[in-house]
Amino acid sequence: MKTVEVLASSGPYDIRISRGLLPVLGTVLRDLFPPVFRVGIVSNPVVWGLYGSRIREALEGAGFRTVVALHPDGERHKTMESVMGLLGVFIGDCWERRDPLLVAGGGVTGDMGGLAAALLLRGVPLVHLPTTVVAQVDSSIGGKTGVDHPLGKNLIGAFNPPRAILSDPEVLGTLPLRERRAGLGEVLKYALIGDGALLDLLEERVEELASERFDGELWERVVTLCSADKARIVSNDERESGERMLLNFGHTFGHALEGALVFAGRQHGEAVAIGMLSAAAIAESGGIAAPGTFSFIKSLTSRAGLPCAWPEGVTFERIHPYLVRDKKVTGGQVALILPEAPGRVRIVRNYDPNLLSRGLFA
């Protein structure tokens, strides 16, 4: 078992990473919550169908009663309406403040379950059991929770750090290949913003990670490297006033694309991959990035089996309204995270808005 510590304003917590962690889930939760008899589980029908009986068995074996709340699958259901549905289940069970929620699923489940835990009785303990690449390497770590609004992605939410994150890389083996590859979008992000060891690993083995054959040991290495990166960054800057903004590399255009597509058609990690290429196109055309940066990123993106082009029919006019509602906009100016070279990015706040359309590279 590998353990990575995260520092948060609410107190430190651990990310535990181990293949085969699922069966010992009950013991881990019993250690975290000794006097509690009830655990709420937030999941969706896909994840619950695959892992529900094992999760329930592990928890009930440790003496917990389980109360399960499922939300409909998919980004288009990442809404306040779904969160209200989850809350209703626990309120209906006469929830008490010390009873934790265990959130088992991908980033959509984690963001909504985390928000439900922040809102229920003004806050109940939260534990993440991330089951996708995106969730294990990124979304479960650092306390961001939230839902989408028709006017833009993740515009409603709260910071709500968990009490623990339990990552079992073995569960990534049941992900559809497209989802594993989409997760590589966020993995590439860590490599491109500065994790040299991860960049070397990807340059050498990205095709293996993007292939049908699942290598649990290799994925465990990737999850561990990314978790350590994110833990370090959010421990230094929990509320995103500086360094944490770098984790948004690829997200300004990526989120705008997701909004313009009404949260369907591109997975989050795929949109981030396209967004990183947009940032590289802007940076290279403005002389910020070393020549060749765009083609380097494009080559890795393509080797990861990720899309390398904007979808047909998405014009700058369609994405512009989402760009200007981005959460990093300050004083009306869009903040861009731009690469200077593979492995080095910086925040640019005074970019000429008339040149933003360069992000829609051909």
Q: Which residues are catalytic?
A: 122, 144, 186, 230, 240, 244, 248, 251, 255, 268
Return d(Cα 123, Cα 289) in angstroms, integer: 44
For ligand GLY, the closer of residues 56 and 230 by Cβ is 230
CB of 224 to ligand NAD, least distance (A): 18
Question: Which of the stretches 72-80, 91-99, 322-330, 338-346 binds ligand NAD when contact is defined by CB under 6 A?
Answer: 72-80
For ligand GLY, the closer of residues 19 and 244 by Cβ is 244
Could you give the angle at the alpha carbon of 163 between the alpha carbons of 170 and 118, nearest 5°?
110
CB of 241 to ligand NAD, least distance (A): 16
What residue 244 binds from ligand NAD, ligand GLY, none (CB within 5 to 8 A, per partner kind)?
ligand GLY
Q: Is residue 274 a contact point for ligand NAD (CB under 6 A)?
A: no
CB of 97 to ligand GLY, least distance (A): 27
CB of 43 to ligand NAD, least distance (A): 9
Residue nearest to ligand NAD (CB): 107
Strand duo 164-167 + 65-70: pairing: unpaired
* 3-state DSSP of the chain: CEEEEECCCCCCEEEEECCCCHHHHHHHHHHHCCCCCEEEEEECHHHHHHHHHHHHHHHHHCCCEEEEEECCCCHHHCCHHHHHHHHHHHHHCCCCCCCCEEEEECHHHHHHHHHHHHHHHHCCCEEEEECCHHHHHHHCCCCEEEEEECCEEEEEEEECCCCEEEECHHHHHHCCHHHHHHHHHHHHHHHHHCCHHHHHHHHHHHHHHCCCCCCHHHHHHHHHHHHHHHHHHHHHCCCCCCHHHHHHCCHHHHHHHHHHCCCCCCCHHHHHHHHHHHHHHHHHHCCCCCCCHHHHHHHHHHHCCCCCCCCCCCCHHHHHHHHCCCCCCECCECCEEEEEECCEEEEECCCCHHHHHHHCCC
Question: Which of the stretches 200-208, 211-219, 265-273, 303-311 binds ligand NAD when contact is defined by CB under 6 A?
Answer: 265-273
For ligand NAD, the closer of residues 139 and 301 by Cβ is 139
Residue numbers 292-331 binding ligand NAD by CB under 6 A: none
Q: Is residue 275 a contact point for ligand NAD (CB under 6 A)?
A: no
CB of 166 to ligand NAD, least distance (A): 13
Return d(Cα 323, Cα 329) in angstroms, integer: 9
Residue nearest to ligand GLY (CB): 247
Question: Which of the stretches 84-92, 212-220, 267-275, 348-356 binds ligand NAD when contact is defined by CB under 6 A?
Answer: 267-275
What residue 135 binds from ligand NAD, ligand GLY, none (CB within 5 to 8 A, per partner kind)?
ligand NAD
Q: Choose, by CB under 6 A, the member of 42, 134, 228, 323 that binds ligand NAD.
A: 134
Residue numbers 170-199 binding ligand NAD by CB under 6 A: 171, 174-175, 179, 182
Residues 4-33 vs ligand NAD: string with x where CB under 6 A?
------------------------------
Binding site for ligand NAD (CB under 6 A): 44, 46-47, 50, 73, 75, 78, 105-109, 111, 131-132, 134-135, 138-139, 142, 144, 154, 171, 174-175, 179, 182, 267-269
